[in-house]
Amino acid sequence: MKIISMITAVILALTMLVSCGNEKMSDQTTAEFVKSMGVGINLGNTFDTTGDWIAKEVSAQETGWGSPIITKDIIKCYAESGFGVMRLPVSWTFLMDENGGINPDFMDRIDKVVGWIIDSGMICILNSHHDDWSDKFCEDFDGTMEIYTNMWKQICKRFKKYGENLMFESMNEVGMDGIWDRFGGKTDGKDTAFEMFNKINQAFVDTVRSSGGLNAERHLLIASYWTDIELACNGLFIMPDDPAGKCAVSVHYYTPADLCLISEDVSWGKARTDWGSEADYQLLNKLFDMMTENFADKGIPVIIGEYGPTLRDQLTGEALENHLKSRNDYIEYVVKTCVKNKLVPLYWDAGYTEKLFDRTTGQPHNAASIAAIMKGLN
């Protein structure tokens, strides 16, 4: 029995090697690749969780912000609902050892979920999410760069077997606030901050391209400065040099902030329940036109890596009814305008409040908002 088991194991291993060896990249451009995505969604607040109260264990990190353990059926539900791409946010440093090694069990877990996403027919975007790069790079640029590139070397080594349906994204929402205060109204340190940021993206591309396997031709997603549309288009953010010429750019869209970022009044704004004024439409069109003119029309594909309004579920009656209609009008128009402007939108689904899917049942939770997304696409 032991001999048979050993033979079986060897055969399975060889089969996997052959399968990986058969993976290859097509000759489609990154613009064609991104266009094929349609609309997408994030598996947010799951593998990107961090916090001192979370045990340094794989399952604890996955459920630390309230998500259940992810299953293949949950991933399948997203795909069957019409989404063509899933962004998988991951905070790699949370389970990293003192020598910079990524926890092997965590790596195995991410590998399994990536496989589920791709097997479901969706494209997977794998990133570095809540790894606190903003503060770390400002405090010790060279030392942090070593940690950052070492992290990506490990990710590249593990995932180089996958074909083009796996895309790497350099980082999430990162900026050098310790060098330049973007809200301070001054320009002191601004050029230096962007230079530092651009070096990080260049190091990302260089690390991936030199890692071997299919990574030499993999489509890559480059995060813009704070993934902010206006900062991406100010001339200081520069796309990295890529010998493969296969890079897209990422921005996020949480505008207006008083609709998308707060569900109750705060010091800087009063939470909105509605959207759809002429000024709202004009602002959205203006910002998306900027991305088209500065990137898409120049051959650099654009992915809106996150978007989505808050859900004011404390409302009742007619106020709630009007709010829900307004939310879905917003969602539909974001998607419709993305299609018109050659951009690809990825809804931020964090698994609670604004969730589109119930991760405990693996079934749609907010059918109206899912329908709004698909209506905008078509």
Question: What is the three-class DSSP state of 86?
Answer: strand
CA 68 to chain CA centroid, nearest Å: 20
The stretch 162-181 carries a mean pLDDT of 97
Confidence tier at 352 by pLDDT (50, 70, 90): confident
To the query of whether residue 80 is one of the catalytic residues in this protein, the response is no
Per-residue pLDDT, 354 = 85
Residue 326 and residue 256: Cα distance in Å, rounded?
Answer: 13
Tell me if 20 is assigned to some domain.
no
Tell me if 166 is assigned to some domain.
yes
**Domain carrying residue 321:** 29-377
Residues 208-227 pLDDT 10s: 999 999 999 999 999 999 99
Beta strands 357-358 and 363-364: pairing type? antiparallel
Question: What is the three-class DSSP state of 83?
Answer: coil
Please say if the pLDDT value at position 238 is more than 60. yes
Confidence tier at 22 by pLDDT (50, 70, 90): low
Residues 276-316 pLDDT 10s: 999 999 999 999 999 999 999 999 999 999 999 999 988 99
Q: State the CATH number of the domain containing residue 295.
A: 3.20.20.80
The stretch 331-355 carries a mean pLDDT of 95
Are the C-beta atoms of 337 and 289 separated by less than 8 Å? no
Residue 70 and residue 236: Cα distance in Å, rounded?
Answer: 39
Residue 317 and residue 303: Cα distance in Å, rounded?
Answer: 36
List phi, psi (to 5°) of 250: -115, 135
Q: What is the largest CA-CA distance in the chain?
A: 74
Q: What average pLDDT does the structure give for the chain?
A: 93
Per-residue pLDDT, 362 = 86
| Closest C-alpha among 114, 110, 109 to residue 125 | 114
Tell me if 5 is assigned to some domain.
no
Tell me if 303 is assigned to some domain.
yes
Instruction: Read off the pTM.
Output: 0.93
Tell me if 24 is assigned to some domain.
no
39: alpha, beta or left? (left if phi > 0; alpha if psi -120 to 50): beta
- The full 3-state SS of 147-195, as one line of letters, equals HHHHHHHHHHHHHCCCCCCEEEECCCCCCCCCCCCCCCCCCCCHHHHHH
Going by the DSSP 8-state scheme, the letter that residue 224 receives in this structure is: P
Q: Which of 173, 318, 321, 354 is catalytic?
A: 173
Tell me if 285 is assigned to some domain.
yes
To the query of whether residue 306 is one of the catalytic residues in this protein, the response is yes
Q: Which of 62, 164, 169, 306 is catalytic?
A: 306
Residue 289 and residue 178: Cα distance in Å, rounded?
Answer: 30
Which run of H or of E encompasses 305?
strand 302-307
Per-residue pLDDT, 315 = 93
Burial class (CB in 10 A: 0-12, 13-18, 19+), 2: exposed
Structurally, how many domains does the chain consist of? 1
The stretch 323-347 carries a mean pLDDT of 97
Per-residue pLDDT, 6 = 47
The stretch 173-189 carries a mean pLDDT of 94
Measured from the Cβ of residue 336, the count of other Cβ atoms closer than 10 Å reads 17
Tell me if 18 is assigned to some domain.
no
Please say if the pLDDT value at position 143 is more than 70. yes
Compute the radius of gyration of the chain from its Cα atoms.
21
DSSP bridge partners of 302: 249, 343
Are the C-beta atoms of 196 and 176 separated by less than 8 Å? yes
Tell me if 146 is assigned to some domain.
yes
CA 33 to chain CA centroid, nearest Å: 16
List phi, psi (to 5°) of 22: -80, -15
Asked if omega into 256 is within 30° of 0 (cis), the reply is yes
